[in-house]
């Protein structure tokens, strides 16, 4: 991302860029920064955006060959085209010889680095991956917004807030706007404010369910499961998230035994550091063999649902009962 800012600062650009990765918020922010650096925002004559699959490479090339109208540049922004995952004729060769006035920006979530398109952009331009941001980066971002608004928050409540939102920056921004509106006129954001306003992710309900299972609180574990069903959460998604939580427990148990620190474990697993801290206490309640057995059971349950031997609702319920029995 620093390379993009350097290009903008120095007014020295590549003629083709590829932004890809999971973090949609940052991709949008940097897309808009780069686009505005190429052309004034109100220049709709020379800026064209293509979105979605089914875009014709020939149409893109024809437009690229059209000279800009009363401007120095023509900008083409292409989003979620699928060009970097399948066959894309003509464009890779065109990218190798772009006109001096033409700038292309591709914005994708998933790409195949073996594709001709990826190799063409890598050779002729710049590729930037936008990954989910780590805990410290997200905290600095939220604190910066709060400071602008004259608000304060404790570290403990910041962790609570991020545990509700997850690490998706769109979700964080939406929940933060709600929280700021709710606490208007006050300097300090409190635990009660977060609990009253912020939407709790389904993953947090799943973690609460895992915690109840680990504590052998079968009644609470089943209650949380039924709550999720009432929220219209598909049983197979609950099973997937449950399996992911148990896989995290297994990874933490193995990494902890190997001597990794909390922050190192968070980096390897791809979660926030305080999430690892929360998991560690529950990982200790299971033997490694039991966690592996649970993961095998989850796979078996999915197979039994697919083959019709069990209903999806019943399969997850039986697993919760099995692993929460005292």
**Looking at residue 147, what is its pLDDT?**
94
Q: What are the backbone dihedrals phi and psi of residue 78, each rounded to the nearest 5 degrees, phi first?
A: -120, 115
Q: Are 165 and 201 within 8 A, CB to CB?
A: yes
Top-confidence residue, 21 or 163: 21
115 Rama sector, left if φ>0, alpha if ψ -120 to 50, beta otherwise: beta
Helix (H, G, I), strand (E, B) or coil at 18: strand
- Residue 266 to residue 132: CA distance in whole angstroms: 13
Confirm if 213 and 297 have CB atoms less than 8 A apart: no
List the one residue out of 319, 260, 259, 257 whose CA is nearest residue 290: 319
How far is 212 from 244, CA to CA, in rounded Å?
A: 16
Supply the pTM of this predicted model: 0.65
Per-residue pLDDT, averaged over 263-272, amounts to 83
Q: Are 133 and 25 in contact (CB under 8 A)?
A: no
pLDDT band at 115 (very low <50, low <70, confident <90, very high): very high
Note the pLDDT tens digit of each residue in 172-185: 998 999 999 999 99
DSSP-derived letter for residue 285 is: T
Give the span between the Cα atoms of 121 and 14, in whole angstroms.
Answer: 10
Q: How far apart (Å, rounded) are the C-alpha atoms in residues 236 and 241?
A: 9
Closest residue by Cα to residue 193 from 204, 203, 180, 202: 180
Rounded mean pLDDT, 274-302: 86
Report the range out of 42-51, 161-170, 204-213 with the highest average pLDDT.
42-51
Average predicted confidence (pLDDT) for the chain: 89
Average pLDDT estimate for 12-23: 94
pLDDT at residue 273, rounded to an integer: 79
DSSP structural state of residue 43 = -
Per residue in 57-100, pLDDT tens?
A: 999 999 999 999 999 999 999 999 989 987 788 999 999 999 99
pLDDT tens-place string over residues 35-67 = 999 999 889 899 999 999 889 999 999 999 999
Given a cut of 90, is residue 20 above it in pLDDT?
yes
Distance (Å) of CA 313 to CA 115, 198, 239 = 41, 28, 10
pLDDT at residue 202 above 70? no
**Torsion sign, CA atoms 95, 96, 98, 103:** positive
Query: Is 204 a residue whose pLDDT tops 80?
Result: no
Give CA–CA dist 144/165, Å, rounded.
17
Q: Number of C-alpha atoms within 13 angstroms, CB side, residue 114?
A: 1
pLDDT of 27 > 80? The answer is: yes
In 3D, which of 217, 207, 286, 299 has the Cα closest to residue 245?
207
Asked whether the CA dihedral 47, 49, 55, 57 is positive or negative, the reply is positive
């Amino acid at each position: 991302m620093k390379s993009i800012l350097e290009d903008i600062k120095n007014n020295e650009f590549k003629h083709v860029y590829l932004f890809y990765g999971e973090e949609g918020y940052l991709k949008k922010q940097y897309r808009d920064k780069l686009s505005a650096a190429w052309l004034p925002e109100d220049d709709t004559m020379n800026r064209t955006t293509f979105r979605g699959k089914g875009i014709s490479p020939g149409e893109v090339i024809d437009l690229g060959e059209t000279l800009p109208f009363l401007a120095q540049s023509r900008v083409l922004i292409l989003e979620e085209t699928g060009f970097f995952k399948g066959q894309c004729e003509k464009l890779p060769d065109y990218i190798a010889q772009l006109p001096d006035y033409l700038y292309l920006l591709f914005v994708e979530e998933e790409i195949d680095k073996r594709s001709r398109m990826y190799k063409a952009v890598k050779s002729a331009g710049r590729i930037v991956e936008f990954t989910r941001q780590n805990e410290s980066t997200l905290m600095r971002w939220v604190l910066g917004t709060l400071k602008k608004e004259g608000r304060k928050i404790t570290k403990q409540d910041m962790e609570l807030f991020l545990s509700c939102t997850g690490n998706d920056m769109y979700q964080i921004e939406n929940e933060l706007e709600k929280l700021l509106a709710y606490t208007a006129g006050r300097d300090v954001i409190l635990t009660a404010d977060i609990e009253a306003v912020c939407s709790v992710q389904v993953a947090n309900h799943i973690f609460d369910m895992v915690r109840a299972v680990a504590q052998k609180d079968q009644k609470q574990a089943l209650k949380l499961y039924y709550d999720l069903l009432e929220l219209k959460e598909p049983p197979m998604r609950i099973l997937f998230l449950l399996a992911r939580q148990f896989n995290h427990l297994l990874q933490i148990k193995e990494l902890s035994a190997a001597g990794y620190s909390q922050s190192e474990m968070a980096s390897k697993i791809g979660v926030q550091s305080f999430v690892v801290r929360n998991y560690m206490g529950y990982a200790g309640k299971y033997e490694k063999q039991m966690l592996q057995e649970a993961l095998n059971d989850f796979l078996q349950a999915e197979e039994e649902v697919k083959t019709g031997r069990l209903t999806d609702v019943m399969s997850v319920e039986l697993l919760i009962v099995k692993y929460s029995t005292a």
